[in-house]
Structure 1
Amino acid sequence: MDASNQSSVTEFVLLGLSAHPNLEKTFFVLILSMYLVILLGNGVLILVTVSDSRLHTPMYFFLGNLSFLDICYTTSSVPLVLDGFLTPRKTIPFSACAIQMFLSFAMGATECVLLGMMAFDRYMAICNPLRYPMVMRKAVYVPMAASSWLAGGANSLVQISLAVQLPFCGDNVINHFICEILAVLKLACADISINVVSMGVANVIFLGVPVLFILVSYIFILTTILRIPSVEGRKKAFSTCSAHLTVVVIFYGTILFMYGKPKSKDPLGADKQELADKLISLFYGLLTPMLNPIIYSLRNKDVKAAVKNLVVQKHSTQ
């Protein structure tokens, strides 16, 4: 960064629930509990997909990546949120803020791409079962997963590089629990139009394109399933993609809810709306990672069997 672009702001103040200190202990316990569930659930999924040879398939490889991503995504922000509930002065250095933004932004973009790739895997398995072993071999699905991580990281690097080059010469109070990039950009004392355009393009690429791809994939999947003559055959085919479809609906449904809900026009209700927006944003980052392992465990016989075998093996060794 050039000297002319150096920020005079060396740290940011995260407001969090400063205006509602009576809620901090309650939310600390609630968020810590959710975080522990995320670590346990996704950790178990990673363990069974690695240890059980029956799960060494493209679908479970992508699932293991998704679980690891969810752990990384929540770990990039939740410890900061929990620390804010316990610390009287809720500050974060400029550099740490940039790192936190990079990690959370990268994980979010990576998840969008990964969900699209999981949809392609299900499309190939149901619509082209004879070609599936040839197309979705290890030499293909491993680079696919790796490219989702690289794409998410590259996008985040571009967005955060543009953000940190902005001058921050006045207000350093972020009205959020974490260094949320839109909240940070509001504090810049310079034109942020390039940042807005860049993020708009990124949203089209990392949100719009995967959604369209998933939608088209499931149109073909449902069409193929409906052509299966037996009811049992249709149920079996749908069961192989129902968990992924449920995760997709929750993931994108919460995004649409967050950004599509109407804003309050009542000045007296603005503070409540602001608090609600922050809490919804916070719990959005926890809801999907917490539900993913539960959904895949409940709706997938192979995962349930692998978890049972893991528990049995643990008891037998003890």
Structure 2
Amino acid sequence: MTSDTLSPAPAPRVRTRRSWTKFKAWIFEAPVLQVLVVVALATWLVIAIPAIANPRSVTSILVITSLLALAAMGQTLVVILGGLDLAAPGYILFGAFMATNVAGKLGVPALVAVLITIVACGGIGAAIGWICHRFAVQPLVVTLGTGAAITGATLFLADGDYSSAPPQALRSLASLRGTTFGLQFPPIILIVLLCGVGMWIFLNRTAAGRRFHATGVNFRAARLTRIRTSFVWTLVFAASGALAGVAGIFIASYGSGWSQTIGEPYLFSGLAAVLVGGTIFGSIRGSYTRTLLGALTLTLLSTIIVSNGLSEAQSRIIFGIIILAVVSLYGRERHVRDRF
């Protein structure tokens, strides 16, 4: 008899365990759960409100999703790095101020206002990243104080003028009636999709993306491999500030105005979009694709909540429960630095 004949067949329990391990790994690798949740929520919304299945309503949902995803883009990078950027509301407020009071009221060209926002918010973010890395300070503390300072400075510059509106050149980019290459959808949707493609290429197809992931997984080990971790931290927080500032420009353009609290809702909802998408602090599997799905999930869920007459407090409770559920699921995966 051959050795193959004598070897026992694998036990059914072992096969089941291996199959479950492969299935769980697949769930973590690809945003399968997020896609299923989006499909389920969209189906629920159409069944509950059949009238919402029209181009106008769909466009509105996609625009709101795009604004949230853009506001959460920089936060996605910071979370993958293992930090948290609480200065986002300040950046968004400053961007809204540049769109309304500078470009709208003073007549500064829209492109110049965008460039000023990128340089100012990106420069502040770069300083935050360098300080946090150089002095080993928690970003939570530095970004919270800096965000408050940016908010105060912006309100001082505004001098109580909240009546201005962005110029038509900016409003047309986020207007529900806007067109893109003759097609009936606002340019903001295409802009966010292109940003998503660019982010995917950076994170998955470039050496800089690999160095970025390595720094987020374990910056001490990354430093030993001669990765300039201080440069990575500085650049990531600079990108977070610049992207949040640009998001503020689009948010003000969509609403045709601004207020003192225009950026506050996007701190919680932006972080929620990142976490609901499945990106966990220092996770090697974090991606902007997941954030896009998380933003769409929250937008659909918010629409359902509003249609059922729930209050803002009740919606925040629901969002909090969802975040806890997602973090408990993805947070149970053993961290990469503990696998070796």
Q: Which bracket does the TM-score occupy, shorter chain normalised?
A: 0.3 to 0.5
Structure number with greater CO (CA < 8 Å, separation at least 6) is 2
